[in-house]
Structure 1
């Protein structure tokens, strides 16, 4: 049997397995758009390997032209999926027209049996798309995860491999006989299966890593209010405290709760109490900045970490939130308007744990309750 068909069969079954794995991940783990897009990419790849094998067996330029277009389309889907995963779907208006043009040129080369032209435009454009995909993966405002780093490395290697095919095809323009073709086929046979399989494994690891992060977020999130639970808040506080000490930046902890929540819960039932907690949590979330952290400590007690915020500025923030709680029209779901009290504590040089700030903020909250509730009180120490 021709070794080319064995390689194409391996690539076909690898694509099918990846299509099934990605499809299962999409169905059972949140139906993320980028996972569905990558599922489609592997499905198109599987079709491409079949077309390639049929084109070789039948010596059909039409089938080879279709194979060239499908591999370009599959690479386009890889890039689109990477952008969807990062939440950057804008800026791809050029992709359709340019990809269509590259597909037409590659199809013409296949139909006219112009092997050098096909080897330049097909792998060349695919290499560009894969290189852009690798670059897009690195455009995040955080440290890359190990699966992401592996995926970037493999995609970069795949892009370099495509460039190698382009260089070889360009040399073929100046070489007599089939020497260039034999070198091109040798590169494909030796390099493509291992690099393609490695890219598939890296893709699966990225999706698995995303799912693991999703599960961790679920473990750290309060299901009723959709803010962090105590475990999640403590984890965020460890990072915030370490960062504040390292960069000598202020950090303020806020402990707050709903005034007379027990009477609301006892007098109007748990449905009204749950509605109050959800509404209160949403008002807290909407009232702070994106980098700040909101969590539920238990019952009706919530904690807020105001990053890069000294206590005097935090008082202004919480006064604004206190007024928004009092003015919020939640009586559609609640029998009465809410009121809330807030205790604040700024990070001290000797603080190392969240409990250090919580202890002082709790004292300030207790003082707010004794002073008549519905107010913001900072911890002022022994004074």
Structure 2
């Protein structure tokens, strides 16, 4: 009795701490809703273990407290599955359906059966519902990496253990093959390990999500959502290496909004931001899979176009230039807005920085020539031949 009380107390405290840690993660780091739902999962587990603790001194209410503990267990696993579904962008109706059916079944057992048989059925229903929630979690986790496969494997093992709890509860019924102490021994062996392991896994997943978000923020422009200069440099390296290996054409384009300073000066920075967002959307809308679009500073943008011949790139950029006034018409009450472009074809052995510099030279010539223009910078070998 004392051992069970100590175990339940320890689990209640551990569940409370894990739930509090997940709540803090939700509150402090971007309000990720699945972290909050997981916090509810461990708060529900705290209530369940608390009911078991109270069941000791209040032996006259064993049926009620056992039923509440079972409800808390089902709720804990339902919240856990719900959080995984939210994180993966999946529909959670199946989770809610299992939760509702299990809740009704537990209430029916309490009010219509009761006693030792009702407690036994409650344990089986709870274990079955918990195993169903674990199965939903396993189905939700995408096996796209070794880490995801390991996570699925761990949850499959946990689900198998929960099923063994249901089988043991049936065998420990009145007149069954085993006694109640064996059931509680099986319950005590896996429950602490499973609960603590699940808590650590959810905390690690939240930490990994936060790390990924920080990495994304480090390479993304917050105003437009495009890559920033760092992100462009990171993602362009493998494209350059691949194009060089298979001798595939590669074009770098620089774009700059004409007279942008006057927009900011006359209409304010809010209007300038609106123009930049609209221009970014215009550049991004015309690209294809594999193209890179980045804002590398102020009103200047870069495009990397792999697999395009020069004439294709020039035609594409011309269509971009022609579409700028319409795409930005009426933005922040600005007058007709145009943009200038510079194009450079990557030469053999040329680095991204060198090609970008030549595209910048072409852009300067577009600006100097009157703006609202597209200029192609010839490759160095062609320039030397001329």
Normalised to the residue count of structure 1, the TM-score between the two structures is 0.82
Residues in 2 aligned to 1:169 and 1:263: alpha-carbon distance in whole angstroms: 77
Question: What residue ranges of structure 1 are gaps of 5+ in the alignment?
Answer: none
Deviation at 1:68, TM superposition (A): 1.4
Q: Which residue of 2 aligns with 1:52?
A: 52
Which segment is superposed worse, 296-305 or 113-122? 113-122
CA distance in 2, matches of 1:248, 1:76: 54
Residue in structure 2 matched with residue 20 of structure 1 by the alignment = 20
- Across the aligned residues of Structure 1 and Structure 2, the Cα RMSD in angstroms comes to 3.4
Residue 63 of structure 1 pairs with residue 62 of structure 2: no
Q: Distance in 2 between the 1:63 and 1:313 partners?
A: 73
Check conservation: 1:364, 1:379, Cα contact below 8 A.
Answer: yes
CA distance, structure 2, for counterparts of residue 320 and residue 167 of structure 1? 69
Task: State the shift of 1:11 in Å.
Answer: 1.4
Equivalent runs, 1:130-279 vs 2, <5 Å: 130-138=134-142, 143=145, 151-172=151-172, 176=176, 179-241=178-240, 252-262=251-261, 264=263, 273-279=272-278
1:276-301 deviation per Cα after TM superposition (whole angstroms, max 9, x unaligned) = 33332233234445764322212322
Q: 1:7 corresponds to which residue? A: 7
Match of 1:361 in 2: 359
Matched residues in 1 for 2:182 and 2:168: separation?
7
Match status 1:29 vs 2:29: yes
Partners of 1:334 and 1:139 in 2: how far apart?
50
Shift of 1:67: 1.9
Q: Structure 1 residues 137 and 250, CA, compared in 2 at 3 Å: closer, same or farther?
A: farther
* Contact 2:12–2:50 (8 Å) recurs in 1: yes
Q: How far did 1:17 drift?
A: 0.8
Equivalent residues of 1:154, 1:202 under 8 A apart: no
Contact kept in structure 1, 2:172 and 2:182, CA below 8 Å: no
Q: How many residues align?
A: 375
Distance change (3 Å), C-alpha of 1:297 and 1:332: closer
Q: Is the 8 A contact 2:251 2:345 kept in 1?
A: yes
Residue in structure 1 matched with residue 76 of structure 2 by the alignment:
74
Alpha carbons of 1:313 and 1:102: their partners in 2 closer, same or farther (altered >3 Å)?
A: farther
In the other structure, the counterpart of 1:93 is: 93
Aligned in 2, Cα 1:64/1:249: closer, same or farther, shift over 3 Å?
farther
8 Å CA contact 2:345–2:378 kept in 1: the answer is: no
- Contact map agreement 1:257 1:301 (CA 8 A) in 2: yes
- Measure the CA separation in 1 of the matches of 2:245 and 2:4: 58
Partners of 2:192 and 2:268 lie apart in 1 by 63
What's the CA shift string for 1:230-273, capped at 9, x where partnerless?
11221222344456668887754332111243555567665654
SS of equivalent to 1:77: helix
| Structure 2: gaps of 5 or more residues | none
Indicate the structure (1 or 2) with the bigger Cα radius of gyration. Answer: 2
Distance 2:46 2:252 in 1: 54
Structure 1 CA distance for aligned equivalents of residues 276 and 167 of structure 2: 64
Normalising to structure 2: TM-score of the pair?
A: 0.81
